[in-house]
Chains A and B, each alone.
Chain A
Amino acid sequence: SAVISQKPSRDICQRGTSLTIQCQVDSQVTMMFWYRQQPGQSLTLIATANQGSEATYESGFVIDKFPISRPNLTFSTLTVSNMSPEDSSIYLCSVRDRGGEKLFFGSGTQLSVL
């Protein structure tokens, strides 16, 4: 399985500010997936990050709020912009294995917005 490093592991932020989350994978992957898990809820896909092209956002998520970078095949960042308390969640990056099936998660970023 892929080793996925994510940082920061947690942060407490003031409303109106932005936070950038980094995700590093130990192998080259075509797609990286960013999920949000609100307290007590399931995992909701924010966007799919492809190297060399714009990220693909799911319904309800927009690039201005969640800009994503994907400079190479092992790294991606997700920024949560102009934060409000409703953005308090766990954010998880993930990748699928070489066979395109098994999905593995990073350790997550616990974000609290005051």
Chain B
Amino acid sequence: GENVEQHPSTLSVQEGDSAVIKCTYSDSASNYFPWYKQELGKRPQLIIDIRSNVGEKKDQRIAVTLNKTAKHFSLHITETQPEDSAVYFCAASTSYQKVTFGTGTKLQVIP
């Protein structure tokens, strides 16, 4: 089955700096890669996703890149703000099937 690895497990950045979280997946059949943000005590929320036929996708301060050949994908947050502090999960799946999550990255943005 699919295995998703995520690094780093914790990340501290100064407000205004960029943050990068990296993931790798194992199953070449995976074609959908979402990213979730989970604030303390709340459910995971989908913040951005990318399909395997796309190399990069941006949404305001958030971008995701995908290298299908290397089975790598990354989340980039620019101009970080204190409200970006949360746990971020990457995931991989095929359509309609189960979604496998990475181990999570706790991001702390220091004001």
Select the stretch in B14-22, B55-63, B94-102 that faces chain A. B94-102
What is the size, in residues, of chain B's interface with A at 8 Å between Cβ atoms? Answer: 19
Is A114's CB within 8 Å of the partner chain B? no
- Known contacts A101-B32, A102-B49, A42 near B99 by CB under 8 Å: no
The size class of the interface chain A forms with chain B is 20 to 34
CB pair B46 A107 closer than 8 Å:
no
CB pair A106 B43 closer than 8 Å:
yes
CB pair A104 B96 closer than 8 Å:
no
Which one of B44, B46, B49, B93 lies within 8 Å of A43 (CB-CB)? B44
- A-side binding surface: helix, strand, loop or mixed? loop
CB pair B46 A103 closer than 8 Å:
yes
Which one of A31, A58, A92 lies within 8 Å of B96 (CB-CB)? A31
**CA distance in complex: A105, B104 (Å):** 17
Contact code string B15-52 (vs A, CB < 8 Å = 1, else 0): 00000000000000000101000000001101001010
- Tell me which residues from 47 to 86 in chain A have a Cβ below 8 Å from any Cβ of chain B: 48, 58
- Tell me which residues from 66 to 110 in chain B have a Cβ below 8 Å from any Cβ of chain A: 89, 91, 93, 95-96, 98-104
- Known contacts A100-B95, A101-B95, A42 near B46 by CB under 8 Å: no
CB pair A99 B95 closer than 8 Å:
yes
Chain B residues with Cβ below 8 Å from A99 are 95
Is A96's CB within 8 Å of the partner chain B? yes
CB pair A101 B101 closer than 8 Å:
no
A residues lining the B interface (CB < 8 Å) = 30-31, 33, 41-45, 48, 58, 92, 96, 99-108
24 A–B contacts from the bound complex (CB under 8 Å):
A30-B96, A33-B98, A33-B99, A42-B102, A42-B103, A43-B44, A43-B89, A43-B101, A45-B98, A45-B100, A58-B98, A92-B44, A96-B99, A100-B96, A101-B32, A101-B49, A102-B34, A102-B49, A103-B34, A103-B46, A103-B99, A105-B44, A106-B43, A107-B43
